[in-house]
Chains A and B, each alone.
Chain A
Amino acid sequence: MRKISEQPRIIVDGVSKRFTLNHTQSFKELFIAWIKRKPTRSTFQALTDVDIRIGEGESVALLGLNGSGKSTTLKLISGVLRPDQGRVLTRGRVAGLIEVGAGFHPDLTGRDNVYLNAAILGMSKPEIDERFDDIVAFSEIGEFIDTEVKHYSSGMFVRLAFSVAIHAELDILLVDEVLAVGDAPFREKCKQKIRELSAQRKTMLVVSHDIGMVKQLCERGIVLRRGEITFDGPIDEAARQLEQSSR
């Protein structure tokens, strides 16, 4: 499918991630737990020895039930989390559609928020200036762009946030469950935009429970179960695997 000489965009190499869960929040609780001989902490193995290689221009879906480690994988690739074991490497600019609107401030206008969030996603001022009109047009916010974001309807808010993220300068796009936003026409538009990026040979890693949509966008699927990869191959086969799997 792709040339062997080509370098991958994302390398996940033998990565494990474990979370430590503290059951006690204070000295008092710690003392009581100690008296009662209760464990004060436990660990949760989120990922075990995961290997993923994604080439340039590939669109890959991460599939799995809740708690299978999909979002953790995405966070490791975006750099928010660090692996306990193994290594994660990326080539090029990574932008995440991970919970859009995280950087929005309700008291700022739509315009200020666009600039702030685009800068958070790593864009420079000239880049934002150049794309500003596209961002506003895509979001269909129109004249409300100079209104404070707190007055927006939730749909408008999400449309603007998504629009900023999708227009970011990127080589690798991470998408986590955000395509379920907006109304049907807007969703269709988002899918269209993602296909466009795909045609530009951008690398894409999508996490979603919407199998139908994932099948439209991706050609390869990786199935995770309890933090381990159980399948990596064509998307249709991956979807079938997922249907059969259980927690």
Chain B
Amino acid sequence: MIGRALRARVTDWRASPSTIVRVTRSTPAEDLSGFSVPGAGRGILDVFRYRYLLRLLIRKGTQTRYHGSVLGWTWSYVKPAAQFAIFYVVLGVFLDLNRGIEGFPIYLFSGIIVINLFNEAFGNATKSIVNNAPLVKKIYLPRELFPVADVFIAFVHFLPQLAILLVVVLLNGWAPTAVQIAGVFVALILVLVLALGLGLLFGSVNVSFRDAQNVVEIILLFSTWSAPVLYSFTLVRDKLPQWLFELYMANPLTSAVELFHSAFWYPTTVTSPERPENLWLLATVGMVIAALFLLIGQLVFRKFEGRFAQDL
């Protein structure tokens, strides 16, 4: 019975005309002021109008993260510590890669947390629409809220790592300049904007093609090695031709990591190791690139958004 009904409907689909002539019946004189088109948002700008909901979404994400675990937020300290220990022992002790880098543990850790922030923000933002499928399918909200909330949640989880770093550098006689501290904020904005832009881009593609999240995983795998986290930028400079090295330095993650090195690692060193030239110029270039990705991400997101509810 049901089978027959279904088959009957299937033949109907085929029979339905593929094009329908659009007929507009409304009289042109009709006053439509005060009306709005449902589902037409202003993109990422709408997120500011939904500040309160954004705050609740961030709170939900942070509250439920370690739900049901006894140690709870301690895990936010344990995980980076374990990662740091592995890198330190394998790279620093076994491979002796710390040759030429004074205070290698601090160098390593101040770089790793920047990459961790990027990876978590970008990774989560990519999956945010798919993870919120029930909401996206049933209620209209500015969908940008979900990736934006995920980026903020990643930032909240970055704070414990920053706290550990601060304790470590303070124990090592840390005395930064105001410019170096300003660099920290620039680096954070850079990383978050880049992660959001890429997250919007891949997150919207991910709705129709789940391949996107696998592509992102590969990008994340590369990101740790694409920036001078586990080695010094001088190694790259010595090995690569000039133009390739400049390309390497233009990577927004490279400038973010180096800004962190300048702020946290450099003030604790005695021998005043070499720093990249024109770091602030590189940061500006990085910022432009990140902003460009945000723009592209938003445009692609808007393009795909109309299909979210039916493709999920």
Contacts and interface: CB of A to CB of B under 8 A. Distances in A.
Contacts of A78: 38-39, 139-140
Contact of A91 (B34, B50, B52, B63): B34
Contacts of A124: 52
A129 to B, nearest CB: 11
A44 B13 contact: yes
Interface of A (DSSP majority class):
mixed
Interface in A49-94: 49, 51, 67, 75-82, 85-91, 94
Given A51-B25, A77-B38, A119 B56 contact: yes
A19 B138 contact: no
Interface string B120-154: 00000000000000111111110000000000000
Interface in B31-66: 31-32, 34-40, 50, 52-53, 56-57, 59-60, 63-64
A42 interface: yes
Contacts of A14: 22-25
* Residue of A51, A67, A96, A120 most packed against chain B (CB within 10 A): A120
Given A13-B26, A14-B25, A19-B310, A87 B138 contact: no
Nearest to B57: A116
B304 to A, nearest CB: 12
B210 to A, nearest CB: 10
Contact of B310 (A67, A81, A96, A116): A81
A49 B20 contact: yes
Contacts of A108: 60, 63-64
Interface residues of A, number: 48
B22 A119 contact: no
A187 interface: no
B36 A90 contact: yes
* Residue of A80, A81, A226 most packed against chain B (CB within 10 A): A80
B37 A116 contact: no
* Residue of B38, B40, B60, B140 most packed against chain A (CB within 10 A): B38
A105 B64 contact: yes
Interface string B54-91: 00110110011001100000000000000000000000
Interface in B6-40: 8-9, 12-14, 16, 18, 20, 22-26, 31-32, 34-40
B38 A94 contact: yes
Contacts of B163: none
Interface string A137-174: 00000000000000000000000000000000000000
B38 to A, nearest CB: 3
A107 interface: yes
A98 B52 contact: no
A45 interface: yes
Contacts of B171: none
A11 interface: yes
B23 A49 contact: yes
B207 to A, nearest CB: 13
Interface in B169-223: none
A99 interface: yes
Contacts of B24: 13-14, 86
A79 B140 contact: yes
Contact of B309 (A43, A45, A75, A99): A75
Interface in A1-32: 7, 11, 13-14, 16, 19
